[in-house]
Amino acid sequence: MDRIADMGGTEGWGPAHPPRGDEPVFEKPWQGRAFALTMLSIGVSGRNADAFRHAQERLDRAGYLDDGYFGRWLNAAELMLTDSAILAPAAIDARARNLRGEHVDEPPVPEPARPRYAPTAGGSLRAVDTAPAFAIGERVRARDMSPPGHTRLPGYARGHTGVVELIQPAAVLPDTNAHFQGENPQHVYSVRFDSRELWGADAEPFAVTAELFETYLEKVS
């Protein structure tokens, strides 16, 4: 899904600032609470980390950017709760209005619709029986695809050629796991791209390394 979350390589966002050495994990108390509420919401709603990422990429521009990093997490948590019908879509707005003293009726709590999902093991790493399709040092091309659902293949890499630097442990495929269509574990590759391959000859020369699942890649003839 190509939405606001796929910002890599796009223009108009200003310079990237390095992290501060004294930067706290949570600058404000509400950010810590938002983090805790998100973790709770993933469990309560029957979702997983990939479904949470898919919730983030379905936010509109304001929901993704205007409330900052942990505001984005909170907005995605609310979306997961409405996806699972734990909250009615209008319940969050009604509760916010009541906190402001407006005294509005909250919609009734719907019947929860948690997905029938159970991971085969903890975490995301899995063992696969097949050998890796690509070797270290091999030139590969990121597939030029735009799936309708979740994917971890960044838009800036699609259709471009890089070199396999490392074969990572196999992991659950986010594209299907986010939609509860199976874990489909695959080999994962660290692929190095030249910036000029990605953004043209006038780009500042540097290397970009992306961790890409096997089905994201194809051989270069």
Which pair of tokens denotes residue 94? 């009604």
Q: How far apart are CA 59 and CA 75, in angstroms?
A: 8
Which pair of tokens denotes residue 68? 């900052």
Query: What's the DSSP call for residue 18?
Result: P
Q: Which of 85-94, 98-107, 126-135, 145-154 has the highest mean pLDDT?
A: 126-135
User: φ and ψ at 190, to 5 degrees?
Assistant: -85, 115
> For residue range 156-167, what is the model confidence (pLDDT) as tens digits?
999 999 999 999
Domain ranges of the chain: 1-113, 139-219
Q: Identical fold at 1-113 and 139-219?
A: no
Which pair of tokens denotes residue 17? 């600032």
pTM: 0.88
Residue in this structure with the two tokens 């990093």, named with its chain if needed = 69
The CATH number corresponding to 1-113 among 3.20.20.140, 1.25.40.10, 3.30.56.10, 1.10.472.20 equals 1.10.472.20
Q: How far apart are CA 150 and CA 175, in angstroms?
A: 5
What local confidence, expressed as pLDDT, does residue 167 receive? Answer: 98
Which pair of tokens denotes residue 18? 């390095």
* 139-142: strand order across its sheet: 207-213, 186-194, 161-171, 139-142, 217-219
Burial bucket for residue 186 (CB in 10 Å: 0-12, 13-18, 19+): buried
Q: Cβ atoms within 10 A of the Cβ of 131, count?
A: 7
Report the SS3 class of residue 210: strand
**142 and 217 Cβ atoms separated by less than 8 Å:** yes
> For residue range 3-56, what is the model confidence (pLDDT) as tens digits?
788 888 788 888 778 888 898 999 999 999 999 999 999 999 999 999 999 999
Burial bucket for residue 194 (CB in 10 Å: 0-12, 13-18, 19+): middle
Q: How far apart are CA 197 and CA 70, in angstroms?
A: 34
* Domain boundaries 139-219, corresponding CATH code: 2.30.30.50
Which pair of tokens denotes residue 110? 């719907």
